[in-house]
């Protein structure tokens, strides 16, 4: 792996942290698996200190559990945990919508529509990973209008925690419903309904029970 071992301690910790998050996101580090710290040190090629610092941060964010004398366990996301994340994301994204609404101009709206069309095309081609990447891009269009970096980082972490939610591909009908909700959201923006758009994002789009319908 590409880790610059001669970097400063802070930079090295960040590199290790980002590397481990990437390994989890692509499924190399599988949820539920336990990994030896010594094995990690050998594979990554760093000393124990930056690895432990990176693991402590990952544990704080909910990605892993450090098991004393036994290594590290990659956490699985429970249904209850996913429900809590949906609540958090609904609250955070609706807050962003209210604060950046005046910045959502015609070019942003047109890009939302374009991305929604690409999501529909991805579903027709059964390109599920592509569908989810575009879905994140859709939400990022209004999120990136915010200058609240702490809020945006929290959103990013919560979405990364969702990567292991059981049944990530909820089925074509659910995915199409997701696209229709995007369309309704965009219509509220075009109508200048800031509060209605924010409420819709929180109470409809990020309503967890919709996964079970």
| Parts of the chain belonging to CATH 1.20.120.530 | 79-212
Q: Chain centroid to CA 109: how far?
A: 22
Residue in the structure block whose two tokens are 């819709």: 200
- Output the pTM of the full model: 0.83
CB 170, CB 86: distance < 8 Å: no
Q: Of 106, 112, 187, nearest to 143 (Cα)?
A: 112
CB contact at 8 A, 44 and 16: yes
Q: Which of the following CATH numbers is that of domain 9-74: 1.10.1740.110, 3.10.450.50, 3.40.640.10, 1.10.10.10?
A: 1.10.10.10
For residues 174-190, b (16+ Cβ closer than 10 Å) or e, as one string?
ebeebbebbeebbebbe
CATH 1.10.10.10 domain locations along the chain:
9-74
User: What does the pLDDT read at residue 168?
Assistant: 56
pLDDT tens track for 100-137: 999 999 999 999 999 999 999 999 999 988 998 999 99
pLDDT above 90 (res 209): no
DSSP 8-state code for residue 127? -
pLDDT tens sequence across 65-74: 999 877 899 9
Average pLDDT for residues 148-164, to the nearest whole number?
A: 90
CA atoms of 63 and 122, how far apart (whole Å):
29
Which fold does the domain 79-212 belong to in CATH?
Answer: 1.20.120
Number of Cβ within 10 Å of residue 32's Cβ equals 9
């Amino acid at each position: 792996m590409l880790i610059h071992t001669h970097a400063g301690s802070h930079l090295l910790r960040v590199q290790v942290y980002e590397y481990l998050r990437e390994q989890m996101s692509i499924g190399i580090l599988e949820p539920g698996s336990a990994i030896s710290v010594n094995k990690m040190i050998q594979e990554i090629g760093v000393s124990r200190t930056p690895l432990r610092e990176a693991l402590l941060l990952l544990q704080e964010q909910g990605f892993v559990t450090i098991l004393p004398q036994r290594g590290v366990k990659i956490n699985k996301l429970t249904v209850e945990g996913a429900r809590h994340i949906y609540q958090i994301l609904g609250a955070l994204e609706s807050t962003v919508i209210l604060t950046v609404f005046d910045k959502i101009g015609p070019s942003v709206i047109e890009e939302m529509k374009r991305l929604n069309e690409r999501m529909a095309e991805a579903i027709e081609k059964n390109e599920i990973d592509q569908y989810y990447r575009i879905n994140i891009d859709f939400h990022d269009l209004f999120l990136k209008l915010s200058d609240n970096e702490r809020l945006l980082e929290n959103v990013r972490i919560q979405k990364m925690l969702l990567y292991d939610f059981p049944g990530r591909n909820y089925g074509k009908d659910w995915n199409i419903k997701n696209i229709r909700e995007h369309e309704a959201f965009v219509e509220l923006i075009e109508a200048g309904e800031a509060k209605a758009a924010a409420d819709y994002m929180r109470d409809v789009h990020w309503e967890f029970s919709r996964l079970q319908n």
